[in-house]
Structure 1
Amino acid sequence: MSPVNTVRGAVDSADLGRTYMHEHIFVLSADVQQNYPGEWGDEETRVDDAVTKLRELAAQGVRTIVDPTVLGLGRYIPRVQRIAEQVPDLNIVVATGCYTYEDVPFFFRHRGPALNAVVGAEVPDPMVEMFVGDITDGIAGTGVKAGMLKCAIDEPGLTPGVERVLRAVAKAHLQTGTPITVHTHPGSRTGLHVKRVLCDSEGVDPRRVVLGHSGDSADVDHLSELAEAGFVLGMDRFGINLDTTFEARADTVVELCRRGFADRMVLSQDASCYIDWIDPNVMAFLPQWNYLHIDKEVLPYLREHGVTDDQLTTMLVDVPRRVLAGD
């Protein structure tokens, strides 16, 4: 088996165990947090709360989570290291990349390819070097190496900024072999753009790409088309039932399993210990959106509706291991 980078160092992919492929620890607006620290509150309280929640997750038998928190989501690895040290039964795989739905962050707007017309030649994108460095050398001097690449394409579609990030992520993947997770908007079929740019144009193997948030759609025919193309479908927002229902999310997984696509799906919740994008009062309307929901409610429902234990193991153990390690 191949090694996989985690916060505490590389682990053998055979030891990843049950893996949730899309769980955040903190999702934060860095400028707000730095300039209005009262919003965050006490650092030790936040860290202790995260340790408690992740220990509860590990107690359910989950052995690994992928935290796809990158530029644009408030990634801060030293804090994650502190937490990981106190939850020794849980592997945490962190990511590198850039999260945007439209333009690149201002830092990149007048660097790299943006200068091609000015200098009359092709200028390398600094994102590629940054992402590769996070994977090969470690992040911000922490020694923690990223084990996943992350980008996004949402309802605005394939804007020039989004395409630039997709291509930078693809190039970093081809240099390092690190798998990719893409935030997608299945309602507008953005997975097809991912296929065209990452795979058809850049040459990325779709088997190493997770199309995140595929479970936001109940269009099983469209999801089947993506699975048949080789992609891994991220059924990874269990508990977020504002525009859909628990049953719709779960029934989509049931039907895809019935169609033979258990080996093209991963399960997760896209939960976090704290996300400052949402007024805390709103969380009362999302009682199932937490790390423990899959084990407590999703898996029993899937079993009751015909999903076998072998299929669950495939989605929770085998597919994550194959994506992360390329095994």
Structure 2
Amino acid sequence: MIPTVLGEVGSGDLGRTYMHEHIFIATADVQANHPTDWGDDDTRVAQAAKKLGELAAQGVRTVVDPTVVGLGRNIPLIQRVAERVPELNIIVATGIYTYDSAPLYFRYRGPALNDMLGADVPDPMVDMFTADITDGIADTGVRAGMLKCAIDAEGMTPDVERIMRAVARAHHRTGVPITVHTHPTTRSGTHVKRVLCDEEGVDPGRIVLGHSGDTTDCDHLARLADAGFVLGMDRFGINVDLTFEERAATLVEMCRRGYADSMVLSQDAACYNDWIDPDVLRLLTQWHYLHLGEEVLPYVRERGVTEKQITTMLEDVPRRVLASSDGRRKGSR
């Protein structure tokens, strides 16, 4: 059984699944003090429900929303959206998103106190992540079905490594899979392998290397897939460093090489994202929830990607990743 915002569903009921889509990305402190373009909650919820309803009408049955601490996770708002689109399963995540430093809350908690106290202090992150999975997030009753961390161009900073190890330990307690924001240009997936797999013992088959489609280096992607990782080809529509054609060509080539069973698809889109100026967002005309269905899939079909491969990437692999291998999600602490 997989936890969603509206309750558990069987893994066989996930259907066509987008493994990396946000609903709201918001900078909490800024929005609380300078709510310039958010407007009101009711309007934002209605807009999100409309866009997600259109996605569901395309045949998508499930989305994973990896919005965690550092991205403005707001589960009560997500609950309101989910109630308006009950035909779409929404799976939420727990973890911390940063490219360099952990939130200041953790600076003098946990391992940061080891030298000061001369003792091995447990990391509170592990209990926090575990509780989000086993008990529910805050007092909402909504349980997380995915763990999330990040490594970007800044590399494996001490805090990035700390969060990654906390995610690994929560994974071992709960069996919940992990998605990692990666930076394939710097081949950060190799660092993920060292920390999460080689040192923390996480099965790479339970890890999605997010944003793998940000590179055209298919040899590098093939090596990661051969190591057992799932590749997130999940930024279709963000045609900035790569063009639409380059992203699609990478997917086509990886399918040609036989790696459909190592990939998942998505767009990393959102209904609201305050990280980018609205005028800039409007220039990214293909970055929206419907892009995959309307433009990407027809394009890659014409270039040899089969219906079986599409089903594998959009249904079979997500189901394999999301289904807990040991049923420890509930009450495991």
Which TM-score bucket, shorter chain as reference?
over 0.9
Whole-Å Cα distance in 2 between the matches of residues 186 and 289 of structure 1?
20
Equivalent AA in structure 2 for residue 276 of structure 1: D
| Residue of structure 2 in register with 1:240 after alignment | 238
1:214 corresponds to 2:212: yes
**Offset at 1:43?**
1.6
Match of 1:141 in 2: 139
Structure 1 residue 141: deviation in Å?
A: 0.6
In structure 1, what is the equivalent of residue 320 of structure 2?
Answer: 322
State the distance in 1 between where 2:79 and 2:101 align: 31
Aligned residues of 1:183 and 1:213 also touching (Cα < 8 A): yes
Q: Distance in 1 between matches of 2:281 and 2:27?
A: 18
Q: Can you list the C-alpha shifts for 1:214-245, whole angstroms capped at 9, x where unaligned?
A: 00000000000000000000000000001110
- The equivalent residue for 2:121 is 123
**Equivalence for 2:277:** 279
CA-atom RMSD in angstroms: 0.7
Residue 23 of structure 2 aligns with which residue?
25
Query: How big is each residue's C-alpha offset from its partner over 1:27-76, in whole Å with a ceiling of 9 and x where there is no partner?
Result: 00000111112331122111110010000000000000000000000001
Distance 1:94 1:11 in 2: 13
Q: Which residue, out of 253, 256, 262, partners 1:255? A: 253
Q: Find the counterpart in structure 2 of residue 55 from structure 1.
A: 53
Q: Write out per-residue CA displacement over residues 164-210 of structure 1, whole angstroms, 9 at most, x where no aligned residue.
A: 00000000000000000000000000000000000000000000000
Structure-2 separation of matches of 1:170 and 1:143: 23
The residue aligned with 2:294 is 296
Specify which of 191, 200, 203 is matched with residue 202 of structure 1: 200
Number of the residue aligned with 2:328: none
Matched residue SS, 1:141: coil
* Residue 89 of structure 1: aligned partner: 87
**Which consecutive residues of structure 1, in runs of 5 or more, have no partner in the other structure?**
none
Counterpart of 1:113 in structure 2 is: 111
Q: Distance in 2 between matches of 1:52 and 1:211?
A: 29
1:306, 1:17 → 2: CA distance? Answer: 23
- Where 2:42 maps in the other structure, the secondary structure is helix
Separation of aligned partners in 2, 1:258 and 1:39:
44
How many positions carry a matched residue from both structures?
Answer: 325
CA deviations on 1:70-108 (whole Å, 9 max, x unpaired) are 000000100000010010110000000000000111000
CA distance in 1, matches of 2:46, 2:100: 35
| Cα separation, 2, equivalents of 1:42 and 1:71 | 22
TM-score relative to the length of structure 1: 0.99
Q: How far does residue 326 in structure 1 lie from its aligned partner after superposition?
A: 4.2
Matched ranges for 1:157-172 at <5 A: 157-172=155-170
